[in-house]
Structure 1
Amino acid sequence: MPPRRSHKKSRNGCDQCKERRVKCDEKHPICSNCTSRELTCTYLKIPIVSAPGRTAHAVTDRSPDPPHQGQSQLKNQNKQPISSVVSAEPSFVLRDLELMHKFSTDTFQCLCGDQSDMDDWQVLIPQQASKHTFLLHGILALAALHIAATATETTHVLSYLDTALQYYNMSFVPFRQALGALTPVNCDAVFAQSAIMTVIGIALPRLNAQHRGECFSMIENMVTVFELLQGSTKVSRISRPWLKASMFSKYDFWLIETGDLDAEELVAIEKLSRLTTCIADAEHGSANREAIDLLRSCFAKFARSSHPVAILAWLVYTKKEFIDGLRMRQPLPLLILMHWGVLLNELGSHFWWAMGCGRDLVTELLAEIKSQDPVWEQALEWPRKMVGA
Structure 2
Amino acid sequence: MAPRRSHKKSRAGCRRCKVRKIKCNEVHPRCGNCSKHGVLCDFEKHDDNQTSPDTPHATASASPTNSNCDSPSAATSPLPVTPSAPASTPAPLYRNPEPLPLTSTSKNNRMMELKLLHHYTTITCETLAISSPVSEKIWRETVPCLAFSGASFLADALLAVSALHLRSHAPQDQDLIRASHSYMASTFSEYSASLSKGITESNAEALFLTAALIAFQSTASRIFARDDGGDMKDRSGGYALPLSWFHSFQGVKAVVASSWQWLRNSGIVVPIIESQPALNLNLSGNPTFFSDLLIGVEEEVTSLDDDPARQMATRQAYQHAVAVLDWAHKIPHTGAPLVFLATVSRRFVELLEARRPRALAILASYFGLLKCLDSVWWLKGVARREVMGIVSLFDPDDEEWWPRLQWPLRIALIDGDGIPADVWGADWAAEKALMDQASQSGSFVSHIELLSQMFSAMQNLPNNMPDALDPFTHQYALGREKASRQQQLLLSDELQGPEVD
Please report the TM-score for the alignment, with normalisation by the length of structure 2.
0.53
The residue number in structure 2 matching 1:360 is: 385
Aligned partners of 1:132 and 1:353: how far apart in 2? 25
Partner of 2:169: 150
Match of 1:102 in 2: 119
In the other structure, the counterpart of 1:111 is: 128
The within-5 A match list for 1:110-259 is 110-113=127-130, 114-130=132-148, 131-151=150-170, 155-156=172-173, 158-180=174-196, 181-209=198-226, 211=227, 216-217=232-233, 220=240, 222-246=242-266, 247-252=268-273, 256-257=277-278
Residues 1:320 and 2:336 are matched in the alignment: no
How far does residue 332 in structure 1 lie from its aligned partner after superposition?
1.6
> Where does residue 27 of structure 1 map in the other structure?
none
CA offsets 1:84-122 (integer angstroms, 9 cap, x no match): xxxxxx996110000000000000011112212121000
Shift of 1:213: 7.9
Task: Note the aligned Cα RMSD (angstroms).
Answer: 3.1
Q: Distance in 2 between matches of 1:184 and 1:298?
A: 34
| 1:56-92 deviation digits (Å, cap 9, x = unpaired) | 37xxxxxxxxxxxxxxxxxxxxxxxxxxxxxxxx996
Write the letter of the residue equivalent to 1:94. Answer: M
Contact 2:157 2:183 (8 Å CA) reproduced: yes
Name which one, 1 or 2, has greater alpha-carbon Rg: 2
* Residue segments in structure 1 that go unaligned for 5+ positions in a row: 1-53, 58-89
Q: For the residues of structure 2 that align with 1:384 and 1:284, how far apart are their CA atoms?
A: 30
Query: Equivalents in 2 of 1:346, 1:171: separation in Å?
Result: 31
Change (3 A) 1:337 1:363: same
Q: Distance in 2 between matches of 1:273 and 1:110?
A: 34
1:80 matched residue in structure 2: none
Identity of paired residues, percent? 20
TM-superposed CA distance for 1:267, in Å, is 4.8
Distance 1:204 1:318, change over 3 A: same
Give the corresponding residue for 1:271. 292
- Structure 1 residue 255, shift from structure 2 partner: 7.4
**CA–CA distance in structure 1, aligned partners of residues 260 and 332 of structure 2:** 21
- Contact 2:281/2:324, CA 8 A, preserved across alignment: no
CA contact (8 A) 2:332 2:372 kept: no
Query: Which of 98, 101, 105 is the matching residue for 1:56?
Result: 105
The answer for unaligned runs of 5 or more in structure 2 is: 1-102, 415-501
What is the aligned residue count? Answer: 294
Q: In 2, distance between residues paired with 1:182 and 1:214?
A: 31
Question: What do residues 121-166 of structure 1 show as CA deviations (whole Å, max 9, x unaligned)?
Answer: 0000011111211111110011111111022xx542x331221111
* 2: CA distance, partners of 1:197 / 1:129: 15
Within 2, Cα distance between the matches of 1:241 and 1:124? 21
- Cα distance, 1:231–1:213 mapped onto 2, change above 3 Å: closer
Q: Which moved more, 1:284-293 or 1:239-248?
A: 284-293
CA contact (8 A) 1:268 1:379 kept: no
- Residues in 1 aligned to 2:156 and 2:139: alpha-carbon distance in whole angstroms: 15
Paired residue for 1:332? Answer: 358
Question: Taking structure 1 as reference, are residues 208 and 215 closer, same or farther at Cα in structure 2, changes over 3 Å only?
Answer: closer
Q: What TM-score do the two structures reach when normalised by structure 1? A: 0.67
**Which deviations, in whole Å up to 9, do the C-alpha atoms of 1:265-301 show, x marking residues without a partner?**
x754101121423413334663354344244235425
State the secondary structure of the residue aligned to 1:98.
Answer: helix
